[in-house]
Structure 1
Amino acid sequence: MHRYTETTRRYALHARLLWRAAPAHSALNLLLVVASAATVTFGIVATGRLVGALPAAVNAGAGSAAADRAWWWLAAAAAAYILAPLIHAVHNAVTQVVSARYLRLVFGMVADVGTVPYGIAHLEDPEVAGRLDAVKRAMRDWTFVTGVDETWNLLANRLTGAGALIVVATWNWWAALLAAGSYALLAKVFVAWIGTIFDDLLEATGNQRRQASYVRDLMTGAPAAKELRLFGLADWLVHRYSTAWRDAMTVVWRNRQRNLRPILVTCAIMLVVNAGVLALLARDASAGTVSLASLVTLVQGLLALEAFGPLGDNQSALARNTSATTMLVALRARLGLPDLPALPNLPDLPDLSPRSPAGRTPETSAATRTAGAEIDLRDVTFHYPSRDEPTVERLSLHIPAGQSVAVVGVNGAGKSTLIKLLCGLHPPDAGTIRIDGGDPSADEATRNRVAVIFQDFVRYHLPLRDNVGFGAHARHDDEVVLAKALDDAGGTTLLSRLEHGWDTVLSAEYAGGTDLSGGQWQRVALARALAAVAGGAGVLVLDEPTAALDVRAEAALFDRFLEMTRGMTTLLVSHRLSSVRHADRIVVIGPTGDPARTGTSVIEDGSHAELMAAGGAYARMFSLQAARFAAAGAGGTDAGRTGGTAGTAVEPR
């Protein structure tokens, strides 16, 4: 009973989605479906009456009243059979509109799950991420789209069955109900069976199938092709894929077999009931209580009652669709989102066409147009859900507006976590974080004051214009801003080498596109951060985005960055201490040494000279890295490169 109630609930949700996506077209389609079912039912009746009228018409001859009746029923049957496909054609055209708007609505709902909650904790939760991935994969399957299209055909079939039920009931109401009921029982059992299979595919096998898909992509994609061949991984990956896939599908296969028995039983019931009803009709026809016309009509009606039964691939596609949308709505509820969005339309994309802004001087740096912001962290504590101990504990830090601060620390000290908290990507468990008095975890305007380039920054497979312009929310089409930001990031020569300039797609996977080296990508990412100032950012954070550069290039870039952003509030995170020593202030975070505090906090704070004079953790790390640089230089190698590598080994992130 629970399964049948769940099926009804899913169909109700599906109907709400259709109505929300395209109310007018859905209403029109509903009218067309009713008209189609009525036309088919009338065709059944007209055909029976035509067959019944033919003997009398033949006997009476042309021009007789009997012949006129036969001609009338012939015209009626012909009209029904001509009108039905015409209605179906119009219905199909309207269905395409409904389906397109339905898909736009549902895909927008998926995008909401990934983007509307500002924090990223839900995307880092394996359960939520696995379910979201399962929903996305289900929506890429052809059955999901087919399920939308076939909704109306399934409804038309059911209504045709209802018309046939009325026709058969004029002969014997209880026989009609028995026959229709046997088909309906089979349909319910089938829907429950197929729904269980699709739920298993989405829920019980989500992680295993995701792993199998990952291994499959490794075998068939370009990124891992070199190592796969170099290390001879092909056979191992094939075995791993088959094992993961078999483990994933075992649950599905087991449930298929276990739940198949009810289907076989209901099939037997349906066969027995329909055989009995046909036998009863044959008896009445032999006794003369059923005329020839009625016999033809009733046989067609009994055959049409099959519309109450399972409808094959069409019904399977709808089950696939409703299973995915039900999980999607459950995910939205878990994240505090409404079941359905307020509006069916996705927002229009902004105009990205280049314009020549008036009244701007190209000489003005894109990174000096907004005043720096004040940062204040008080007794901040935070721990990840997967960990019992806090990553950051009672951390307090005040950064005046316009100051440049370097954040350093040993591996796992919480540097990246601190940046995430500053961006509002995670709210703190305790304490407060304020940027110019605003809370970045709760206030969008405050979040817009922070621009960050992470070490794992995104390489957008989009034109250079977008890759830089995404930093400037309201001025991404301003080529003066973009050009200055790219120049300040040291990427001017990059622009001159691109065949299509700003409109060159930064991916070799697209016609006319090109890929960039690691260093070039980092300059583009830096330009994006600098462009963000034009969009109102007051805090610039570089979270080790220059790892692909050698230590000298990184130090030079940081020095230039500090010069360009003078007056802005800047945070530099780097494992190479020589690269950040020119910052106004250096903050070292790490374990406090207090047994009662397991998380990290600020352990040293001062300028490079002050911390070196203090002889603490910073001085020890700096001296160790400097010694390795010197040893590398004495060995005749590139001191910068080797030193950078050695520095990474000493103090990784």
Structure 2
Amino acid sequence: MSSILVASVRVRVELLVRLPWVGPGLLAALVGLTVLASVVPAATAATVGWLIDRLTDADPDHLLSAAAPALSAYTVVLLIGHAATAVRAPLSYLAEARIDGRHRAELSRLAAGSPTIDALERPEVQALIRTARADPESFMDGTPGAGVLAQLNLIGRSLALATSALVLAAYAWWTVPLLVVPAVVLHQLRWHEGRQRRRVWRNVPMPSMRADLWSDALVSPAEGKEIRVFGLGEWAIDRIDRHLRPAYDPLWPMDRRILAATWQQLVAVLVPLGIVYVVVAVDAARGGAPVAVATAALVAGTGVFEAFDDAPQATLNAITCVRAFTRVRAELAGGGAVPPPAPEPAGTRPEPPLIRFEGVGFRYPGTESVVLDGLDLQVRPGELLAIVGVNGAGKSTLIKLLAGLYEPTAGRITADGRDLADIGPAAWRARLSVVFQDFVRYHLSAADNVALGNALAVPDMAAVVGAARDAGFDAVVSRLPGGWDTPLARARDGGVDLSGGQWQQVVLARALYALRTGAQVLVLDEPTAHLDVRTERDVFDRLAAHRGAASVILISHRLSTVRRADRIVLVSGGRITEDGTHEELIAAGGTYASMFAIQAQRFQRGFDDRLEEGELT
């Protein structure tokens, strides 16, 4: 029992340190209301005793006038109690919102500020984030705000206990330990039950995350097409059930055991309280104690147990959330937002850097498969470099390493001789713009979707328009119902959906906007897979126009396009196996030449190699 008590105190302190997050004014109001509410039980007992005393001693002809002061005092105490509760409720809600808001902001900043994404890809880290995000989805999920306010309530109840104990002691000292000890034991039993539930609940987040994937799919327009066409509705519901049952089923036997043992808690309340009630009543009946004192003692006795009537679940849920946050911070290696880069002096634009991959090796965390193995590559300042290779050769991984989303497991990457790790992720990414193969379609306006290419810069509409023109997106904007203010999501008011090719033009414009606002290296991973050959050629011409002002790294499966690059490298077996111009590689007769010949035959037979989803109309 002592270890449980120590654990209880420790977790409560962990929560109370967050109480100042509510702000000084609101905190003072909450503390004042809590103290005021804490004296209400004892004041109620005292005024009831006073009222009984006045009624028993008063002349029947003047009963009302004799009882008026005590009745007024009793009424005032009741009103104060109700007023304190009524005012405290909205203030408590505001305090919880402030604490939870700061907690969520810190968690978001922690996740977004992690220099790499490898930890975020691990299921156990995602499960921790789900627990730490303070977004309850069940009775076993909690928020720090609710836990912190529960501790403030407990302090108020402790004060109520002390004042009730004083009233009891005024009658007989032995009634205090007789009632307080079982009340403490009862509270610790409830605490132990809550800890038992939490132990069973530890294994729930992972299957709940799997169930959430199917729950979201059932209501998502994107997955809704296949769910309806393939008849996956009942199958998905069955999947949800299969994930949740193993997670929740262990709770029910434990709850049945706890419910079966509730008679013990009932005995812990009724026996000591019954003893005090009987002794006080008999004593008053025999004239040993005034009726007023006996009545006050009876009311105060109930107040002792009410002081410990807080459910520990809010505290346990909150501390689980807080500790998950602490573990997330440890998993994300230091946490905290990546500091923004220092602004460049006005009117200066450094030359594109010389980038080198020096013996770079990489394997994804938790796997033994080597993706890159001693790769050496040089990206010259201002050149247009094309990277080709079969699927799975490691082209996209190479780009993620260049962007600092992963750290090499061997070797290093340098810019003008400096290791990217020494430059720092924020400073390096300010010089870099990347269009990923699995780019994000933000449910924002067309202008915001483009301006996100450099969120640190002051939005520049002229640069947005220029980048859209370079990407060929300006023609699409001219057809949007609200122009640049049109949301690019049908779920938004006045929004529209774009085709795959049109979205690819959006992200190209996004990357080109970054170039116009300071980036020196542009990386494009399959940027034209949804475009037809003619549009792709136009885009390539616009990209080529940026040579010199920026280095352009292009990954594409269409060799008819990359042939116009300054230099082409072939990735195979985790290394660069061929390097040269298109003419040099064709003359060499190697893998690149074979791949080009195969694609040329497909193109002659009418294959376009374009992925399309339907045009905006």
Same fold, TM exceeding 0.5?
Answer: yes
- 1:640 aligns with one of 608, 612, 615: 608
Contact 1:470 1:476 in 2 (8 A): no
Contact 2:472 2:505 in 1 (8 A): yes
Q: Are 1:113 and 2:81 counterparts? A: no
Greater Cα shift, 565-574 or 184-193 = 184-193
- 1:541 aligns with one of 523, 533, 545: 523
Greater Cα shift, 34-43 or 438-447 = 438-447
1:432 partner amino acid: R
Identity %: 33
Q: Are 1:132 and 2:116 counterparts? A: no
Gaps of 5+ in 1: 348-358, 361-367, 592-599, 634-638, 646-653
Q: Are 1:511 and 2:485 counterparts? A: no
Contact 1:382 1:428 in 2 (8 A): yes
Greater Cα shift, 560-569 or 415-424 = 560-569
Q: Are 1:82 and 2:64 counterparts? A: no
Match of 2:390 in 1: 410
Following TM superposition, by how much is the alpha carbon of 1:454 offset from its aligned partner in structure 2, in angstroms? Answer: 0.3
Match of 1:335 in 2: 332
What secondary structure is seen at the aligned counterpart in 1 of 2:541?
A: helix
Match of 2:508 in 1: 526
Structure 1 residues 547 and 123, CA gap change in structure 2 (3 angstroms)? same
Partner Cα distance (1:436, 1:156) in 2: 63
What secondary structure is seen at the aligned counterpart in 2 of 1:132?
A: helix
Structure 1 residues 40 and 466, CA gap change in structure 2 (3 angstroms)? same
1:75 partner amino acid: S
Match of 1:603 in 2: 577
2:391 partner amino acid: N
- TM-score (norm. length: structure 1): 0.84
Partner Cα distance (1:309, 1:62) in 2: 38
1:36 partner amino acid: A
Partner Cα distance (1:55, 1:266) in 2: 37
Tell me the C-alpha RMSD between the 2 structures. Answer: 2.9
Match of 2:204 in 1: 205
Instruction: For residues 262-289 of structure 1, give each alpha carbon's deviation from its aligned partner in whole angstroms, at most 9, with x where no partner exists.
Output: 6553443333332233233233333332
Following TM superposition, by how much is the alpha carbon of 1:494 offset from its aligned partner in structure 2, in angstroms? Answer: 1.8
Following TM superposition, by how much is the alpha carbon of 1:21 offset from its aligned partner in structure 2, in angstroms? Answer: 4.2
Contact 1:392 1:414 in 2 (8 A): yes
Partner Cα distance (2:403, 2:569) in 1: 18
1:640 partner amino acid: D
Instruction: For residues 569-600 of structure 1, give each alpha carbon's deviation from its aligned partner in whole angstroms, at most 9, with x where no partner exists.
Output: 11001122222111111111121xxxxxxxx1
Greater Cα shift, 621-630 or 74-83 = 74-83
Match of 1:50 in 2: 51
Following TM superposition, by how much is the alpha carbon of 1:195 offset from its aligned partner in structure 2, in angstroms? Answer: 4.2
Following TM superposition, by how much is the alpha carbon of 1:395 offset from its aligned partner in structure 2, in angstroms? Answer: 1.5
Aligned positions of 1:546-625 closer than 5 A: 546-591=528-573, 600-625=574-599
Structure 1 residues 396 and 7, CA gap change in structure 2 (3 angstroms)? farther
Structure 1 residues 183 and 336, CA gap change in structure 2 (3 angstroms)? farther
Match of 2:343 in 1: none
What secondary structure is seen at the aligned counterpart in 1 of 2:39?
A: helix
Partner Cα distance (1:438, 1:447) in 2: 14
1:590 partner amino acid: S
What secondary structure is seen at the aligned counterpart in 2 of 1:224?
A: helix
Contact 1:158 1:307 in 2 (8 A): no
Match of 2:403 in 1: 423
Partner Cα distance (1:623, 1:19) in 2: 69
Aligned positions of 1:379-398 closer than 5 A: 379-398=359-378
Partner Cα distance (1:255, 1:112) in 2: 38
Following TM superposition, by how much is the alpha carbon of 1:527 offset from its aligned partner in structure 2, in angstroms? Answer: 0.6
Partner Cα distance (1:553, 1:6) in 2: 66
Structure 1 residues 189 and 534, CA gap change in structure 2 (3 angstroms)? farther
Instruction: For residues 606-640 of structure 1, give each alpha carbon's deviation from its aligned partner in whole angstroms, at most 9, with x where no partner exists.
Output: 1111111111121122222222222x23xxxxx32
Greater Cα shift, 424-433 or 467-476 = 467-476
Structure 1 residues 3 and 509, CA gap change in structure 2 (3 angstroms)? farther
Q: Are 1:374 and 2:375 counterparts? A: no
What secondary structure is seen at the aligned counterpart in 2 of 1:391?
A: strand
Partner Cα distance (1:545, 1:602) in 2: 22
Partner Cα distance (1:477, 1:415) in 2: 32
Contact 1:522 1:545 in 2 (8 A): yes
Following TM superposition, by how much is the alpha carbon of 1:318 offset from its aligned partner in structure 2, in angstroms? Answer: 4.2
Contact 1:370 1:534 in 2 (8 A): no
Match of 2:180 in 1: 180
What secondary structure is seen at the aligned counterpart in 1 of 2:30?
A: helix
1:233 partner amino acid: L
What secondary structure is seen at the aligned counterpart in 2 of 1:471?
A: helix
Match of 2:603 in 1: 629
Partner Cα distance (2:286, 2:590) in 1: 110
Aligned positions of 1:36-435 closer than 5 A: 36-58=37-59, 61=62, 70-136=67-133, 138-139=135-136, 144=143, 152-198=152-198, 200-201=200-201, 203-257=202-256, 263-311=262-310, 315-337=312-334, 371-435=351-415
Contact 2:45 2:300 in 1 (8 A): yes
